[in-house]
Every structure is written in structure tokens, then in C-alpha cells.
């Protein structure tokens, strides 16, 4: 199992210091600066640091596509509760969105131990920003050859997992992303009945795109915002409304 251990400390209401390690030799310190003030900056800073370490720094030598086979040992019990959907700290829910989407199923343990963590004498802290726009979101950005950058929502992953009968259902995010990266995906026509349904559901239909592959029954429903951003909002079979 791949294990990332973090311990966070509050420096101020906009700053947190996060000690981290993978095993006993790979380790470091992150100074996280939030773009807003909050009394629980240590909790938010730890969530930011975990995302940075997993997806940007790739300290586990790969970019996780699911929570299967991964363990996070964290210093704040609220992180485990957020992943289980049982936390009262709603202000942190978007910062923890990756735990219920891309990393769903990850094992989380709580410990405040500094054992094997680096000291300030041996390690220079790395400074990173904790911008809400980057770290507090309910989707993951994926680069695809056909659609460009697509923001994959939690609902889309859940709908895909419900409908998939092949592939890797235990790793729905990774399986879905693999399909989205097919270079031959094309915009598919939607009949008037389906468009009317989507207009009722999403408020309009002129920005709805249905992407699919000729040999697949899956349709990937994308909402294209006026600024060009694409959000994958759901996945359904061709004959569904």
C-alpha cells in the first residue's frame, strides 16, 4: 500500500506548516498560504498540502487515479470525517472534494506523531499557495485529445460507476478518464426529447454537448460554459433520457 503521512500546524489564520513523509527517507515541509483567513487554517492547509503532494509533486511516484491501494495518515480527524461525509465542517468540504471523487475509497488514519518527520534544521520549507480556485473544487480537470480540458464532476463519476459493466468498476475515476481520453470521441446528435429534458434540468440546452464513440453505448454529457470551459456533468446510455 502506498502511504503518505502529514502533520499540520497553524501558523496564522492564513498560514499553515505541513510536515510530510513517504516512508522514512522521502520527506519535506510545506508552508501553505491560503488566499483567505480562517481559524482552522491548519485543517485547510493540510488538505491543500495532500493534493499538492499527490497530484503536483507526485511524491508516491505516480498520479493516483483512485483511492484503492493508498493510505493517508493525517493529523486532523476532520479529514477522515470529510471523506466519509460525516463532518460538520462544511467550510472544508470543497477542499476535501478529491477524497470523495478521484481518491474515493482511500484508507485514512489519524495520527499526530512527528516520528521520522524532517526538522527545520535539516529541511528548508517549500512555500505554496492554497488558492480556493485551485484546491477547493468539486471536479478534477482532465486533458483530453478530442474535447480539450474537461472538468469531471463527482456526479458524472457516480453515474458512470452505476452504468459501467466492463472495465475497472472498482476504480471508476481512472476508468472514466481513460475513456474520455479516446482520440476518436465526437459530438453526437441529441434528439428533441433529450434536449428538452436537459434544458429543464440544466436551465438551457444550447450549451449542451453529447460526446461519444460510434462503437460505445456511453454518452458523455458536457456543459460548455460561455467562457469555453467544459464540465462533464453525467454519463448515460444512448437510449436513456
Supply the pLDDT for residue 190: 77
Q: How many other β-carbons are positioned within 10 Å of the β-carbon of residue 200?
A: 10
CA-nearest of 145, 163, 147 to 155 is 163
pLDDT confidence bin for 237, thresholds 50/70/90:
confident
Q: Band of the pLDDT at 164, cuts 50, 70, 90?
A: confident
CA 215, CA 5: separation in Å to the nearest integer? 44
Contact 111, 79 (CB under 8 A): no
Angle, CA of 58, 63 and 64, to the nearest 5° = 125
Q: Which among 54, 33, 43, 37 has a CA at the least distance from the CA of 126?
A: 33
**pTM to 2 decimal places:** 0.85
CB-neighbour burial class of residue 140 (10 A; exposed 0-12, middle 13-18, buried 19+): buried
CA–CA distance, 142 with 101 (Å, rounded to integer): 13
Average pLDDT on 190-214 reads 77
Under 8 Å between Cβ of 105 and 67: yes
Residues 6+ apart with CB under 8 A from 70: 1, 2, 3, 4, 60, 64, 103, 106, 107
Dihedral of CA 142/103/27/46: which sign? positive
Q: How confident is the model at residue 207 (pLDDT cuts 50, 70, 90)?
A: confident
CB within 8 A of 102, min separation 6: which ones? 64, 65, 66, 67, 140, 173
- pLDDT for residue 191: 72
Give per-residue pLDDT as tens, 93-133: 999 999 998 998 999 999 999 999 999 998 999 999 999 98
**Beta strands 148-153 and 70-74, pairing class:** unpaired
Q: For the stretch 173-193, what's the b/e string if a residue is b when 16 or more beta carbons lie within 10 angstroms of its beta carbon?
A: bbbbbebbeeeebeeeebeee
168 has which bridge partners?
none
C-alpha span between 231 and 141 (Å, rounded): 9
Band of residue 147 on the pLDDT scale cut at 50, 70, 90? very high
Q: Is the pLDDT of residue 241 over 50?
A: no
Average model confidence (pLDDT) across the chain:
91
Q: Are strands 26-34 and 15-22 parallel, antiparallel or unpaired?
A: antiparallel
pLDDT at 146: 95
Minimum mean pLDDT range among 80-84, 109-113, 201-205: 201-205
pLDDT of residue 38: 97
Amino acid at each position: 500500500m502506498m502511504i503518505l503521512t502529514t502533520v499540520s500546524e497553524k501558523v496564522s489564520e492564513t498560514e499553515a506548516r505541513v510536515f510530510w513523509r513517504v516512508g522514512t527517507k522521502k520527506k519535506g515541509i510545506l508552508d501553505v498560504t491560503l488566499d483567505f483567513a480562517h481559524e482552522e487554517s491548519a485543517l485547510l492547509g493540510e488538505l491543500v498540502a495532500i493534493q499538492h503532494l499527490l497530484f503536483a509533486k507526485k511524491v508516491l511516484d505516480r498520479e493516483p487515479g483512485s483511492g484503492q491501494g493508498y493510505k493517508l495518515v493525517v493529523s486532523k480527524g476532520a479529514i477522515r470525517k470529510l471523506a466519509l461525509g460525516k463532518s460538520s465542517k462544511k467550510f472544508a468540504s470543497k477542499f476535501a472534494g478529491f477524497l470523495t471523487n478521484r481518491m474515493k475509497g482511500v484508507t485514512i488514519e489519524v495520527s499526530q506523531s512527528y516520528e521520522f518527520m524532517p526538522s527545520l534544521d535539516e529541511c528548508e520549507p517549500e512555500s505554496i499557495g492554497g488558492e480556493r480556485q485551485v484546491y477547493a473544487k468539486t471536479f478534477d480537470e482532465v486533458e483530453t485529445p478530442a474535447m480539450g480540458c474537461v472538468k469531471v464532476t463527482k456526479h458524472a463519476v457516480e453515474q458512470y460507476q452505476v452504468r459501467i459493466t466492463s472495465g475497472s468498476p472498482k476504480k471508476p475515476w481512472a476508468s472514466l478518464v481513460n475513456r474520455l481520453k479516446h482520440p476518436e470521441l465526437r459530438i453526437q446528435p441529441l434528439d428533441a426529447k433529450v434536449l428538452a429534458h436537459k434544458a429543464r434540468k440544466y436551465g438551457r440546452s444550447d450549451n449542451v454537448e453529447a460526446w461519444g464513440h460510434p462503437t460505445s453505448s456511453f454518452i458523455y454529457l458536457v456543459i460548455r460554459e460561455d467562457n469555453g470551459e467544459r464540465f462533464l456533468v453525467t454519463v448515460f446510455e444512448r437510449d436513456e433520457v
